[in-house]
Chain A
């Protein structure tokens, strides 16, 4: 069994049922796990920021940093391994927020709305999600089953 770590602004795709894809400490960042149960292909993306226009140079260097450039790559890479869009199960976690009523530290919320917009435009449904709040989340995708697990500090493991 291999634990494959997905870093900040990173993505990993697998078709090996022995793999577990894991990403640590999603703060305002968002983790997107996709899984095709028939092809047994899945991927995990950990993006940082909503919109590549704030730093196009970095987006070119690492498209996984941004929602608008990272999410399409996640899907396309899974298709290459034989995944089919309509079978794909999509789960989302992260997007936590600092405490700020005025809304100037809203990166978590912006990340989430950008993702919703992108999914809506492309007809993708979110099957399960755990977003917002002020907690850090660690997210795992178990390739054998497609199960997604979340771990928060001081809490039991949650199956998404």
Chain B
């Protein structure tokens, strides 16, 4: 590795340390949701410990998306009316939003674009998971939301390198390889470092680390998020300067027993879901 790259890498890794810590409560909820011995009531009690997540949960639960006729005023009530799965998803979105909703300059993503992409990928991963008979929907949702977390840190370092990246892509490299070539690390590996720092469970770190290279780890959850990411990029949802310049892995289909037509059918389903969720989380693009 060249001296500049090593210098870059040191800077990048130290900027991870400056990220605000991931909410403890959300981390706890992810762990609890995956433990069969924990009741949803206990999860709701943990959620209540974080006032800003609670405020968001109440705001979103009362949005037209859920169509409830009465006003929800507590997390316990939200649990009763929405059910555990919805509550967990709202908690996760609320915890991830502050990191992902801003403008990501190096990738030329306007405010809200990376967030839309992440939410779209999370939903599509679940739709594909259902088709493939994959049970752990919380894992798919969390992995989908966080797969591109590395971009928020890497953006500042690739910002001035666009011309060089373009050359590399014209020469047949994909965006991930171009990132590595220029700054010494790609957004997937960097995202995994962030996940480690935040003490995410290993399965989620694997999704982040291998979402562009599922064949290197051979786990169904990683393959599903890979397909969901590809589907969301193909729909142009939150694709920036990198566009579709990533290698897609045909093996991912085989790992979960799906075909391209299943992906297309799920993309059609995503369209409606995403429209509704964007309204709930205030992401609807102004009509201008």
Contact = CB atoms under 8 A, between A and B. Distances in A.
Interface in A1-21: 3, 5, 8-9
Interface string B231-246: 0011111011101111
A48 B267 CA distance: 9
Q: Number of contact residues on B: which range applies?
A: 35 or more
Interface string A110-149: 0000000000000000000000001110000000000000
A5 B284 CA distance: 12
B244 A58 contact: no
Main secondary structure of the interface of A (DSSP, over half): loop
B237 A25 contact: yes
B269 interface: yes
Contact of B108 (A27, A96, A104, A153): A153
B285 A5 contact: yes
A27 B241 contact: no
Interface in B137-192: 162, 166, 169, 174
A27 B233 contact: yes
Contacts of A54: 261, 264-265, 268
B253 interface: yes
Contacts of A99: 174, 244-248
B117 to A, nearest CB: 10
A88 interface: no
A59 to B, nearest CB: 8
B268 A55 contact: yes
A124 B174 CA distance: 36
Contacts of A58: 268-269, 271-272
B235 A8 contact: yes
B245 A153 contact: no
Contacts of B260: 104-107
The listed residue with most A CB atoms (<10 A of its CB), out of B245, B261, B267, is B267
Q: Number of contact residues on A: which range applies?
A: 35 or more
Contact of B235 (A3, A29, A97): A29
A9 B236 contact: no
Contacts of B272: 58, 61
A58 B127 CA distance: 15
A105 B108 CA distance: 24
B15 to A, nearest CB: 24
A134 B244 contact: yes
Contacts of B250: 100, 102, 104-105
A70 interface: no
Contacts of B69: none
A97 B244 contact: yes
B283 to A, nearest CB: 13
B167 to A, nearest CB: 13
B245 A27 contact: no
B18 to A, nearest CB: 27
Contacts of A62: 271
Given A26-B236, A105-B230, A134-B169, A100 B271 contact: no
A27 B174 contact: no
B268 A65 contact: yes
Given A27-B239, A54-B268, A108 B166 contact: no
A141 to B, nearest CB: 16
A98 B235 contact: no
A40 interface: no
Interface of B: 108, 162, 166, 169, 174, 230, 233-237, 239-241, 243-250, 253, 260-261, 263-265, 267-269, 271-272, 285, 287-288
Given A48-B268, A54-B261, A104-B253, 9 more contacts: A9-B271, A27-B235, A27-B237, A29-B234, A48-B271, A54-B264, A59-B268, A96-B244, A135-B243
Interface of A: 3, 5, 8-9, 24-29, 48-49, 54-55, 58-59, 61-62, 65, 96-100, 102, 104-108, 134-136, 153-154
10 contacts: A3-B288, A25-B237, A26-B236, A27-B233, A27-B236, A48-B268, A49-B268, A58-B272, A99-B244, A99-B248
